[in-house]
Amino acid sequence: MSLTMPLLHKNDENDVTCRHKNDIFKGGTTATPPKLNTLIIPVKEEVKRKGKILMIHGWAQNAKVFCFKTKNLARKLSMAGYECIYLEAPFLLPMTSMVNVEGNPVEIVNGKRENARAWFYYSDIDRSDATLALSEQHMKYIGLEESVNSIGSFLRLQEEEEEEKERRHKNSEGEQLQYEQYCDDGDDDNDNFCAVLGFSQGAVFAHVLACLSSRARLHDQKKKESTGSKFRDTTEEEPSTTEEEPSTTNKSDIDVLLPFRKIDCVILASGFPAMHGNDGNNEGEATPLPQIESLSTHQIAHILSSSSCIYMPSLHLIGRSDTSVVPNLSLKLASKFFDGQLLLHDKGHMVPQKSAQSQEIIAFLDKIKETG
């Protein structure tokens, strides 16, 4: 992960048509999770909608910067029917840091990185310090639970909007024929498909989200088998080695995990495995939820540690020349997923956007949607 990634200082709104939106969420570790800003690349009216992709930027970036850096890919995805929603991390990185020089504290400027953001911090002493990010040591990701619960609230809101949309079509003065035509056009689930594309720290964060989604889907599958109820399950048939739902998972855990089941697949660019763990002697143990609408840092760590294999479609974008996150680390992340696909490219720490690479990404998404 590049710790000195330059940020955009020019206006990029002429390069990409972005729609800005402030999303205010409910629930969280306090009264509300942090507010997430979004930039949206919509699907053109003449193109049939296929679904949404949550675009998760990297360390020291923000939604606008990531939107600009991936504008070519986003344009192709939009033309293919996928709406790109760029989410902005809730935490600002400080403009200055304190370092010791010959035993004396000295303040240094962390470059011109205004509005540089992170999904979590690696150090509670100096929040701009990411030197341990690639250490492959378990550590506490500071602020991770706030980011996770903000995404959960976002997904919950999306699900509520889709349910309301379905009710409007079904109950529009009893016009059942209109609803049947609506379904025949393939628009009934055009908002149901949801992928996550994460870059660098965003890919690490996406690894966490994939674990949560996998656990929620496992519960859905078990409930479907026991009650015969219909639940949307887009995963392919899994082998008999499917992970068992831990006995520590209670109803409150399940309730708060349910929004994450909306995630159908992940695309991870220049990523490395999440190493979030608990401090102290309770590492790996689940703790009671502070309230029903939030996940604690201990619960997230427990789910990560118990997810030996993630049964979710994944595509891993790995740069052979990446010196910030070396390919071996990205391969370790890929090994966390069952049958993860690889897309190798000759560039470095970036999201590949050439036509052939973009088509591979689109083909991956289309296959998951069609076989779901």
pTM to 2 decimal places: 0.78
**What pLDDT, on a 0 to 100 scale, did the predictor assign at position 100?**
61
User: Any idea which of 177-191, 210-224, 230-244, 353-367 has the lowest mean pLDDT?
Assistant: 230-244
Give the model's pLDDT for residue 159.
83
Quickly count: other Cβ atoms within 10 Å of residue 172's Cβ: 12
Q: What is the reported pLDDT for 1? A: 39
Contact 88, 117 (CB under 8 A): yes
Which token pair is 107?
A: 């303040």
3-class secondary structure, 123: coil
Q: Cα–Cα distance between 339 and 224 in angstroms, integer?
A: 24
**What is the tens place of the pLDDT at every residue in 147-203?**
999 999 999 988 888 778 777 777 655 555 554 554 444 454 566 899 999 999 999
| 3-class DSSP state of 266 | strand
In CATH terms, 38-100+107-165+192-224+255-276+294-371 corresponds, of 3.40.50.1820, 3.10.129.10, 3.30.1050.10, 3.40.640.10, to 3.40.50.1820
pLDDT tens digit sequence for 319-356: 999 999 999 999 999 999 999 999 999 999 999 999 99
DSSP state for residue 261 in the 8-state scheme: G
Q: Is 10 helix (H, G, I), strand (E, B) or coil?
A: coil
**Domain range summary for the chain, segments of one domain joined by +:** 38-100+107-165+192-224+255-276+294-371
DSSP assigned state of 194: E
Half-sphere exposure (Cβ direction) of 372: Cα atoms closer than 13 Å: 25
Query: What pLDDT, on the 0 to 100 scale, is given for residue 206?
Result: 98
CA distance linking residue 297 with residue 120, whole number of Å: 11
Q: Where are the beta strands (DSSP E) in 130-254?
A: 194-199
The residue that leads in pLDDT, 227 or 291, is 227
Identify the pLDDT of residue 255.
74
* Rounded-to-integer distance, Cα 231 and Cα 261, Å: 10
Element (H, E) at 147: helix 144-170
Residue position matching structure tokens 């309301």: 164
Task: Give me the amino acid identity at 5.
Answer: M
Cβ atoms of 17 and 40 closer than 8 Å: no
Percentages of the chain per state (helix, strand, coil), in multiples of 5: 35, 20, 45
Q: Token match 């499917």: residue?
A: 242
Reading the block at residue 249, the tokens are 């998972």
Between the alpha carbon of residue 78 and those of residues 43, 52, 152, 301, 323, the distances in Å are 5, 10, 24, 35, 30
Cβ pair 163, 191 in contact under 8 A? no
- Asked if the model's pLDDT at residue 260 lies above 70, the reply is yes
Q: CA dihedral in degrees (61, 26, 189, 37; nearest 10)?
A: -20
DSSP assignment, residue 33? P
Is residue 294 pLDDT above 50, yes or no? yes
